[in-house]
Structure 1
């Protein structure tokens, strides 16, 4: 089964929707790891702050089938992609994106946005993003002055049993 890295985010009832999305995902795939949760202002402003994290999963699902499953989970958590006027909605109940699928090249967003790079560096520090020569833990340091705030009060996985 391929390792798959996902980005997960929400700005609507965010902590609850992240947890719900992770629970629903864990019913369909093997959930191996989750990053810390980070809070950040939305790109472009105009909406509530986001909570973002990264997940590592194993799945037998083909990429397109997995993407369809992720869209179903988003919808079940209340995701509406466009507002009443047909514009992209600024209220995002849940957003799940494939960042790396197996041996495929990582998504370009990995090194472009702090809300993707920093959580991913928590769980895949040695991954080398597309177009980069350095590992993700080094790339993520570029975002040291970003507005990301670690939210240690929000856990996506239950504590490991001892």
Structure 2
């Protein structure tokens, strides 16, 4: 079994698609752990705010199998096959870490978003602060604590999270 961490983003029917992401990822592995959900402004375009979070789980799938399955889930829930980088999303599912895998090719691992975007780093920090990033040597906590604070990253209301979790279980 390999431990995978998936970054999840949605800004279309956010609560519904956050729940769907959890349900779909349950089919790909076991021992799921879910970070808090954060709301943030879109980057690179003007639109409605995103929900972002990370789900970690153990899987028997290979990296290519997992990548293919994530694309299938995105398409199933409304992502266009020719979707551009900076546009609205029902579901955006990105492999952030996959065991000790290091790759410069698609999918890039560890995903460079860990170093660039607090909406990836903070949820990963919430789940695994002491996890050492493969090929880097720093922990998630070290990367998070070195980031500049971002005002646009807001935790989703505790009541909304409780409602979300209640629906999941």
Does the pair score TM above 0.5?
Answer: yes
Deviation per CA, 1:67-105: give whole Å up to 9, x if none.
11111111121112446xxx5561200011101111114
Match of 2:114 among 110, 115, 122: 110
Q: Is structure 2 residue 151 aligned with structure 1 residue 146?
A: yes
What's the counterpart of residue 126 of structure 1?
Answer: 130
Could you say what the CA RMSD is over the residues aligned between the two structures, in angstroms? 2.4
Shift of 1:150: 0.3
SS at match of 2:53: strand
Shift of 1:24: 1.5
Shift of 1:109: 1.2
Evaluate the alpha carbon distance shift between residue 132 and residue 112 of structure 1 in structure 2; reply closer, same or farther with a 3 A threshold. Answer: farther
Q: Which aligned pairs between 1:16-95 and structure 2 lie closer than 5 A?
A: 16-82=16-82, 88=85, 90-95=87-92
Structure 2 CA distance, aligned partners of 1:138 and 1:107?
16
Evaluate the alpha carbon distance shift between residue 89 and residue 41 of structure 1 in structure 2; reply closer, same or farther with a 3 A threshold. Answer: closer
Q: What are the ranges of 5 or more consecutive residues in structure 2 without an aligned counterpart?
A: 103-109
Q: What are the ranges of 5 or more consecutive residues in structure 1 without an aligned counterpart?
A: none
Evaluate the alpha carbon distance shift between residue 3 and residue 117 of structure 1 in structure 2; reply closer, same or farther with a 3 A threshold. Answer: same
Deviation per CA, 1:19-59: give whole Å up to 9, x if none.
11210121232142010000000112312111000111111
Contact 2:118–2:150 (Cα < 8 Å) also in 1: no
SS at match of 2:161: coil
Structure 1 CA distance, aligned partners of 2:4 and 2:148?
23
Q: Is structure 2 residue 96 aligned with structure 1 residue 99?
A: yes
Evaluate the alpha carbon distance shift between residue 63 and residue 29 of structure 1 in structure 2; reply closer, same or farther with a 3 A threshold. Answer: same
What's the counterpart of residue 106 of structure 2?
Answer: none
